[in-house]
Structure 1
Amino acid sequence: MDAQQVHEALRDNATRPYGPARSARAEQLVELAAQTGDRPMLVHALQALITAYEYDGTSDRMLVPFARVLKMWDERPEDFDEEAAHGLHWHFKWVSAGLIWQPNVPLATIERWLDEMERRYRLAGYGTQAVHACRHYVAAHLGDTEAAATHFDRWVTAERDDMADCEACERHNRGDWLTMREQDLEAVRTWQAVTDGHLVCAEEPHRVLAKTLLPLLRLGRADEARANHLRGYRMVRGNPNLRSSVGEHLEFAALTGNEGRALEILADHATWLTLGGDEPVRYRLFYLEAVVVLLRRLVALGQGDLELPTPRGETPTTTVAALLPAVDAEVDTIVATFDKRNGTTSVSERSAARRAQEPLLGSLPLGLRAGTAVPSPVREKPDERAADGPAPDDAEALIAEATRLSEAHDPRAHAAWERVAATGADLPPLVRARIAESRVLERADEDPVGVGADFLAVAREFGIAGDAGREAVNRARAGLGALIGGAEPPPGTDPAEVLAEVTALHEAGEATRNTLWVARFCHVQSLFLGWARAPEGRDPDDPARAELDRVLTDLLTEASELPFEQGSLLHIRAQVALAEGDPRQALDVLPRAAEKFLAAGAVNRAADSLQLLAEVTMRGGDPRAAEAHLERARAVGGDRLDADTRGRIAALLAEIYVMLGGRDGDAVGSALTAAHLLDDSDPVVAARARMVAVFAFRRGGRPAEAAALLESMLPDVDRRGDEQEIVHVRQVYGECLTDLGEFRAAAEELIAAARMVADRPDQREHAALVHAAANALDGAGMSDEAGRTFDRAAALWRTVGDRDAEIRAVRGHAWTLVQGDEPDWPGALEMLDSVAAESAEPGYEYYETLRQTTHLVLNWPSEDRSEKLAARALDLADTAADGFLRLDEPGVATQTQFTAANLEAWGLGRVDEARARLTALRDRHRAAGRSELAAKCEDFLEHLEP
């Protein structure tokens, strides 16, 4: 390979993503460059290798090539051009600061390197800012806080020069020191310019977002920490050079009650647990410390037997309990090498403190749908027994307590029956039947149809136990389940027949009042289903409707002294009113239902009525009143509300916050809480809540957080969602990726969604998805593919008759023609002229086509642009600007004339004419009272000053 070929190969390798492949190729090119005898090229090849090592996660390997470059500089500095000389001094600080993390390098050697760095910087005319930064890093590592603070002050006050790190990286490191000094608030303020996106580089804000997680939690700013995790983990996932940041995200999840998320992160990076890797020891140390935090947390939760990828690769998996001591021991070994070299215990003390951390929050809902491959840890449910309740082994007292709670319709009854079961006592048949009944009822709300057979089994248990009333009502429950599923009730389960049976038992003293009311409610619900599904379409004059109303009225009269029963009947009456399209009656009845439930102490049922009241109120256009109803539901229920009820309230609140506007942050928090609570019991509502959070994130200009939620949803949606839901999620995900500049991935999602709807009779959605995919392909620089896709979109829009969308697609295709290695400027112009000529009547898209034509001519290669072409473009700009003004689009008109002025002034050299154009536009804006646009024209005129 000759010198020219090596040069081209170096240039090609510089375009590859950092990683093992790029580094391996860089190593080959160093040898090939050496063989050419071209010393300047060898310098370039060695510096490219140093950079590859720095960014592929193997920075410890850069010392050897750097020493070679340094020797070449000392031998013949004339072999170094200005860029190479700068690179030599720039790499000096990388090596000097990195030596501290190589425990085999003595401290005396590190100090000599720092002195040599300072000497060479002075010789080259650089200041000491970068030197003080490196000395600060070393002192902080050694635990010499006085020296670290001194050099920190000198670092931040020294004048920046060409050797200063980029400001984003400097902010990262300065904030790191502040957190070590327990100055979290100052650290977060230091990092803010990076997290806000004002200061960025190749590795920022990636690393800073990870650094902020625990400080924000300690400051009580959990919502910001959650957002930074959602946004930041996508940036660092799978990047070996950012392994420390991955560990910080894992640690954050483990310390916020999100051990399942932490396990997923661990699974994403299972190979990083393999022993014997050649990654820099500091990356391995920082990552393994975070792994220990997670493993200790899992052990504390009783998850020691959980299977995880093995660290050695000898077997597929190992348990948490077996892995923890192995990883802990490796960390201890690593820190011991530093302590021995340093003569201090600062590294081991810092490591021990990190590994010993306790959770900062019991639970912080992230809103991420847990994957199925890695099980989430199971927490023990808190003991819901009152402090003065029965002892856990007093079966008789526990049975009495569970019975009391059941009779009072208390949601804690199920937990009470489970405590009875947990005693291990030899329980009588009736008690065993009550436990079985409680377990089926716990699942009935989630799957009323599927538990029908279970209710029949429970009925048989009550029959054996001699309780004919409970045996009968569980048959009625099974029959009601069949009716809900649209089937005929099995023999002996028809709610009307069972009611007659239980009524007779009650009159004979063989069934309790509560049992009778259960049978009555099953009957009422069966009447409601029969009416609602009648062919007459819920005709208010239908006899079934009259029967339902009669039964409800009679039962309300009979239940005059029974608040729980009255509340239940009023709630059903509200549902009937809503089914009839009468929300006003529901709004009248539901508050009374809630009050009755509260009088009975049934807080969950009261919350259900208030929630339905809020939903009806919201649909009626009064979200503030709806919010008040939901807040009352939460207040009256307190900590007695079950998870499902809290989840549904949170989901509805999220929608209300979005409707109110200006409360997107509240919407996100509420929606993610809802998703967290409802994932297992009501995945449909949980998914809808996530989409509310996605909407709020996107409206707030935060597509990264939205994308993280959508990524977690996709596997679950693909598995259980219907086609329309899958299409919608993939479309929104593709749009988020487009917003993030991840165009190739966006195109893949949008094309996948488009294929799913390709055969639908109405092609509008198909056309929109194909068009969006074309835009993404264009953003990815895939001009040929984008052009063909734009052409396909235009054809689809033509089919559905949307001329404006068709024009936009054709314009998109035209712009792809001037990209790539062989731009076709005349072809693009012909396409734009053609679509303008075909416009039936001038409108926005027509004038936009003229504006873009002017822009095309402005960018046309000057050597090929004729005076005639430029003059025509200026005429088109005038026509477009006048048209936009007539359409009341003065802003677009102004941009059009700015494009024309640029063409006139810089393309044709006619500055005076350009000034006249903008002066006339400015005066026109002033006359129309458009002072802001007039000011913009004035600014542009100053730009045109000779």
Structure 2
Amino acid sequence: MTTHAPDAQAAGRRIDALLEEVDQTPFGPHERALLDQALALAVEGEDEVREYRARMRLTASANMTGDTDTVLSSFAWCVGMHDRDPERFPTSGPEIGGDLLWHYKWMSGALSLNPVFPAEQIHAVLDDMAQRYDRAGVGRSGVVMARFGAAAANGWADEAEAAYAELQVTPDDEYSHCDACVRSETADWLAAVGREDEALRLYDEMVAEGYACGEEPERALSQALVPMLRAGRFDDARAAHLRSYRDARGNAGNLGIVARHLAFCAVTGNEARGLSMLERHLPWFGHDGLNALEHFEALASAALLLDAVTAAGHGDAPVRGSDGPELAPFVGEHEGRWTAAELAPRAWDAAARVAGAFDARNGNAHFAGRLAGFRALADERYDVPVETDAPTPAPVAVPDPDPVDARGWGVRARERAIVGDVVGALAAVDRGLASADDRTRAALLGTQLGILVGADRHDDARLVLADRIASLRASGQAYQADLEERLGLVLFGTAVPDDAARLEAEAQAAQEAGEPAAAADASLTLAVLLGRSAEDGGDAAVLGPQVVAAARRAAVVAPRGAERVDELWEGATFVLALSLAQTTPAEPDAPGRPGVEAPSGPEQALAALDELVASLHAAPGSNRARLADAHRLRARLRAGAGDFDRAVADASATLELDLALGARERATDAAMLGAAILGDLGRPHEAVARLRLAVRQAELAESPRVVGARYALGRQLADVGASVEAVEVLQTVLEQEEADGARPAARAETLEALGHASRDADEPGAAASAWSRAVDLFEEDGAGVGAARVRLANGTLHFQAGYARDAVELLEPAVVQAREAEQLGLLVDVLHLLGRARCADGDPAGLRDLDEVLDLARRHDASWLVADVTDSRARSLVVLDRLDEAVAAALAASDLYAAAGDTRSGGGSLLFAGRALLEATREDEAAAVYRSAADQFAAAGEADGEAVTRLELADVLDRLGRGAEAAVERAAAERAAGPVVP
């Protein structure tokens, strides 16, 4: 292909721009896409120099993201070009984007990852590397470390010992591995040869000194997990697990790191967590086809985990994602998902095959020994729960024996229909029809008709209707047969608004004819039709009372059996309760007694539900799905009325029933409902447990609600102080939202919560980053309030860290957004902080912001806020070197706090004023203010504040030469502090 010079120049500029962008982009999919684009342009234009620069960067990128094939091929191409023309293709340089000699350090490791590369090739690369380093006149540290790493990885014990000894006496140079990598690889080897105490010292040093690199310290922390457990350092192991997994889980090149976390979960009683992790990362098995070492570790760890799951009694649990194409090359084909018990031995066998190939290549039994080590871990057990709350109640499969008669199969069919299992419902109908008498047959066919119409199988339903009418006549139900001949499928779900008048007329006629079942049937159908019309945009104010009236008539006239709950009464009563729950005024036909307020709609709904629940519980063989729905609605109504204790009991009953029915979507809803009520009850740890169950049920149902359940779990974890785990959960939510293309505001809310959790987990940098992204997404969605709220959080973080100017830059746009949204509370909070931040940055304009807040507070009679802003004004005046004004403001703030009933904060204002005076060497004034502060703390019962203030006052009195008074204050401080408890 011939390229015209101008086109070549344009292409060259484009490649240069792409490579410049690559250099500013973190390793990952976007960076790789930029590289691929630059490389394609260079190849197309036959621009070998720029292709060299692109491939040098590509080698590093592939190494960091786990693409061994590209690492090897890209490196080999670059070496060939350098050997052909060293001047055009130098080993390094300002534009090269890497260092060929540095890349050599990765090659023996890359070849070690797969037994397809013979041992001789690994040694040849190491020898070539040494020769090139010698010719270049650079140090040998990189070569020695590469020899050590390859020997340790492949079990060449003598070579590893020799290289380790040489490493101890080899000075560092420009090609030395970084401190993090040296310690990590050395610690791994020490642990592997049984020197776990020495390994732990290196791991601890990495954490204490903050050593980090591309995949460190997460890699080292994963290697440290088992040694920490064996050393009894359970809290450290748990913290290492959470931190390492959180940092590794987003890069598919970290399969080996994740594998070690699976093993950790297997031996610490966290099998459910481990199974979820395995399911999440199964697609990673297909990420790097050449990395057989990570495949070995992942297969062995997965096998260990799955055995633990089986031992815990859940061997029949399906492993989600195990039917994907990534796993089949290792464990073979399988129809559908593997269960834990089925997959475990296949994973062990696959790991053994990989180990055998490695040992054949390496000429030893190193990997056989590693595999034996994995198997031996099954005998180790450490009680290290990762969850920081009450254990999640594990859903237990409740035996659900087959019904014994046709009526029982009818109930089963209605249950399955309510939970959305059309296939199961129709199958239950078929089972019942096989032994039904004419009356029961008619009832079963009626259930079948409702199911078919609900599934839009109207043609099938018409055929069944004829059979149903014949069965009605055969069982003596001629009136109902005639009714269904007139209405067709209307009674089974095809009713439209034009049918309302017909249904009303049929209901009245049936009631007059003494046919209560037919009257109830027509009335219930009418109620459902009117309710659907209201939901579809009809006039709810008009339709609501009509729904209630029709449903009440159906419930009143429906037959009531002494030994069983009639299907019509059950349905009518539930529809009545549902419609009453949506109304607030009392119904006209249910007036209160004179002087007594009539019951509201929700109160009447609760009465109907109480009767329905009691009847369903009392009658054997009742519809559990209907009972669950009744408990669910009653839980919501009771919670709305503030009756939280009984509401949570209803939510628990709903959950138990939904789990027994195997209705995972409904169980998810029930668990989330229970969690919300438990949160209102002030029982947050139990709420967390319910939300964990909700997440698992949603996962098993493959429901889109899993994102919402996880989000709620992450928020609740943060609320109970489990911030590190909250970060992990919320990161998972964010990843799923990004994959699903969730709207910007939804992702922003997740990032907002993630920022708060990160801040509480002592990761301020991560918090600031999350909040910055959240602002962009809120603003992209036009959600100014959300953006202002997050700017406030980020501004607070920066202000508290001492970055006042950064806080000002964050808060100024938030003021505009809060004003535009007319959010007074938010505006007050933003202005308050902005004023303090401006003053802290030396800008007296901040006082105007504080004065505006004061004005707003006074206008709205917010007395405590007036005191608080006055206190902020005092502190800001000190920063601005206006001490006298500051002291006056602090004294005023103290009085204002006291007037607002907050004596403690008033004491704090005085203490601040005393310290400011002392800083200005105005000891006499300071002593007087300190004494007032101590008295105020004493009056508020704040013993700690009083003790601290009196001790500081004593020091002031000593400086004034008033030793006797100082002694008195110290004695008073001791009395305030109370006895020291050993």
The two structures have a TM-score, normalised by structure 2, of 0.58
1:657 shift after superposition: 1.2
1:273 is the counterpart of 2:288: yes
Distance apart, 1:899 and its partner CA: 5.9
**Amino acid corresponding to residue 631 of structure 2 in structure 1:** L
Aligned residue number for residue 606 of structure 1: 627
The answer (yes or no) to whether the contact 1:794–1:809 under 8 Å persists in 2 is: yes
- The 3 A distance-change label for structure 1 pair 456 and 240 is closer
Q: Aligned partners of 1:178 and 1:848: how far apart in 2?
A: 49
Aligned to 1:575: 578
Q: Which residue of 2 aligns with 1:831?
A: 845
How big is the shift at 1:747? 1.8
Preserved contact between residue 754 and residue 770 of structure 1 (Cα < 8 Å): no
Deviation at 1:754, TM superposition (A): 3.9
Matched, 1:488 2:509: no
Query: How many residue pairs end up in the alignment?
Result: 763
- TM-superposed CA distance for 1:462, in Å, is 1.4
CA-CA distance at 1:538 after TM superposition: 5.9
Contact 1:611 1:633 in 2 (8 A): yes
Of 131, 153, 159, the residue aligned with 1:102 is 153
Find the counterpart in structure 2 of residue 37 from structure 1: none
Q: 1:921 aligns with which of 933, 941, 947?
A: 933
Q: Could you tell me how far apart the structure 2 residues matched to 1:680 and 1:346 are?
A: 36
1:728 Cα deviation from its structure 2 partner: 5.2
Q: How does 1:297-316 map to 2 (within 5 A)?
A: 306-308=324-326
1:458 aligns with 2:460: yes
Cα displacement (A) at 1:752 = 1.6
- State the alpha-carbon separation in 2 of the partners of residues 164 and 786 from structure 1: 30
Q: Which residue is equivalent to 1:218?
A: none
Q: Closer, same or farther in 2 for the Cα pair 1:337/1:941, shift >3 Å?
A: farther
Partner of 2:686: 666
Distance 1:884 1:871, change over 3 A: same
Cα deviation, residue 658, structure 1: 0.8
Distance between the aligned counterparts of 2:160 and 2:930, measured in 1? 63
CA distance in 2, matches of 1:506, 1:469: 21
Are the equivalent residues in 2 in contact too, given 1:901–1:918 (CA < 8 A)?
yes
Contact 2:894–2:906 (CA under 8 A) maintained in structure 1: yes
Matched to 1:522, the amino acid is: T
Q: Deviations over 1:911-940 (max 9, x none)?
A: 887677545533442355321211233566
1:286 is aligned to 297
Partner of 1:307, secondary structure, is: coil
Pair 1:773–1:911, CA change in 2 (3 A): same
Q: What is the SS of the residue equivalent to 1:265?
A: helix
- Which residue in 1 is equivalent to 2:781? 756
1:480·1:495 contact (CA, 8 Å) conserved in 2?
no
What is the aligned partner in structure 2 of residue 126 from structure 1?
A: none
* Aligned-partner residue type, residue 847 of structure 1: T
Cα distance, 1:156 vs structure 2: 8.7
Q: Is the 8 A contact 1:57 1:242 kept in 2?
A: no
- Does residue 649 in structure 1 map to residue 670 in structure 2? yes
Q: Aligned with 2:456: secondary structure?
A: helix
Change (3 A) 1:333 1:157: closer
* Structure 1 residues 334 and 731: alpha-carbon distance in aligned structure 2, compared to 1, 3 A threshold: same
- CA distance in 2 between partners of 1:851 and 1:22 (Å): 58
- Whose relative contact order is higher, 1 or 2, with alpha carbons under 8 Å and at least 6 apart? 1
Match 1:586 to one of 585, 601, 605: 605
Alignment of 1:397-412 (within 5 A): 404-406=408-410, 411=415
The residue type equivalent to 1:245 in the other structure is I
C-alpha separation between the residues in 2 aligned to 1:813 and 1:22? 46
Structure 1 residues 765, 576: CA separation in 2 closer, same or farther (over 3 Å shift)?
same
Q: Deviations over 1:544-574 (max 9, x none)?
A: 7656544432225x65665233433433343
2:665–2:703 Cα contact (<8 Å) kept: no
Change (3 A) 1:749 1:938: same
Find the aligned partners of 2:494 and 2:465 in 1 and give their Cα distance: 21
CA gap 1:806/1:852 in 2 versus in 1, 3 angstroms: farther
User: What is the Cα deviation at residue 700 of structure 1?
Assistant: 0.9
Match of 1:554 among 543, 553, 557: 557
1:701 alignment counterpart: 721
Q: 1:306 to 1:504 in 2, by over 3 A?
A: farther
Pairing 1:505-904 to 2, within 5 Å after superposition:
521-526=524-529, 537=541, 548-556=551-559, 562-565=564-567, 566-581=569-584, 582=600, 583-598=602-617, 599-602=619-622, 603-632=624-653, 639-640=660-661, 642-661=663-682, 663-677=683-697, 689-690=709-710, 692-713=712-733, 731-733=752-754, 735-736=756-757, 739=760, 740-741=763-764, 742=766, 743-758=768-783, 767-768=788-789, 771-772=792-793, 787-799=808-820, 805-806=826-827, 808-810=829-831, 812-813=833-834, 828-838=842-852, 841=855, 843-844=866-867, 846-854=869-877, 856=879, 880=893, 883-884=896-897, 886-889=899-902, 892=905
Identity %: 15
Letter in 1 for 2:672: A
Deviation of residue 140 (structure 1)? 5.7
Moved more, 581-590 or 473-482: 473-482
Shift of 1:679: 7.2
Q: Residues 188-224 of structure 1, C-alpha deviation per residue, up to 9 Å, x if partnerless?
A: x51314646xxxxxxxx3xx33xxxxxxxxxxxxxxx
Aligned-partner residue type, residue 234 of structure 1: R
1:625 maps to a residue whose letter is R
Of 284-293 and 562-571, the range deviating more from structure 2? 284-293
The equivalences for 1:493-504 within 5 A come to none
Q: Note the 1:113-192 alignment, pairs <5 A.
A: 141=192, 148=194, 176-177=226-227, 190-192=233-235
The C-alpha deviation readout for 1:153-187, integer Å capped at 9, x for no partner, is: 799999x99999999999976751375xxxxxx66
User: Is 2:974 the partner of 1:931?
Assistant: no
Distance 1:356 1:829, change over 3 A: same
For residue 660 of structure 1, report the CA deviation from its aligned partner: 1.4
Q: Which runs of 5+ in 2 are unaligned?
A: 1-22, 29-55, 65-74, 79-97, 114-121, 172-181, 212-216, 308-314, 331-336, 390-395, 473-480, 585-599, 859-865, 960-982
Contact 1:922–1:933 (Cα < 8 Å) also in 2: yes
Structure 1 gap ranges (5+): 1-13, 29-44, 80-87, 122-130, 143-147, 180-185, 197-204, 210-230, 313-318, 367-380, 390-399, 445-450, 508-512, 819-824, 858-867
- Of the structure 1 ranges 328-337 and 612-621, higher mean CA displacement relative to structure 2 is found in 328-337
1:191 aligned partner, one-letter code: F
Structure 1 pair 588–755 and aligned structure 2 pair: CA distance change class (3 A): same
In the alignment, is the contact (CA less than 8 A) between 2:894 and 2:907 conserved in 1?
yes
**Matched letter for residue 700 of structure 1:** V
Q: Distance in 1 between matches of 2:446 and 2:802?
A: 63
Query: How far 1:437 sits from its partner (Å)?
Result: 9.0
CA distance, structure 2, for counterparts of residue 673 and residue 161 of structure 1? 38
Q: Which residue is equivalent to 2:310?
A: none
Question: Is the partner of 1:454 in helix, strand or coil?
Answer: coil
What is the CA–CA distance in structure 2 between the aligned matches of 1:109 and 1:340, rounded to whole Å? Answer: 13
1:234 pairs with 2:246: yes
- Quick one: distance in 2 between partners of 1:572 and 1:107? 76
Q: Is the 8 A contact 2:727 2:757 kept in 1?
A: yes
**Secondary structure in 1 aligned to 2:721?**
coil
* Contact residue 462 and residue 489 of structure 2 kept, 8 A: no
Q: Quick one: distance in 2 between partners of 1:795 and 1:657?
A: 38
**Whole-angstrom distance in 1 between the partners of 2:797 and 2:201:** 45
Measure the CA separation in 2 of the matches of 1:239 and 1:646. 33
Q: Name whichever of 690-699 and 162-171 sits farther off.
A: 162-171
Structure 1 contact 747–776 (Cα < 8 Å) conserved = no
Aligned CA RMSD, in angstroms, stands at: 6.9
Residues 434, 730 of structure 1: alpha-carbon distance in 2 compared, 3 angstrom cutoff: farther
Partner SS, residue 102 of structure 1? helix
Larger CA deviation: 92-101 vs 891-900: 92-101
| Partner AA of 1:273 in structure 2 | D
After superposition, the Cα gap between the structure-2 partners of 1:845 and 1:936, relative to the gap in structure 1 and judged at 3 Å, is: same
3-state SS of paired residue (1:621) = coil
Residue 373 of structure 2, aligned match among 350, 358, 361: 350
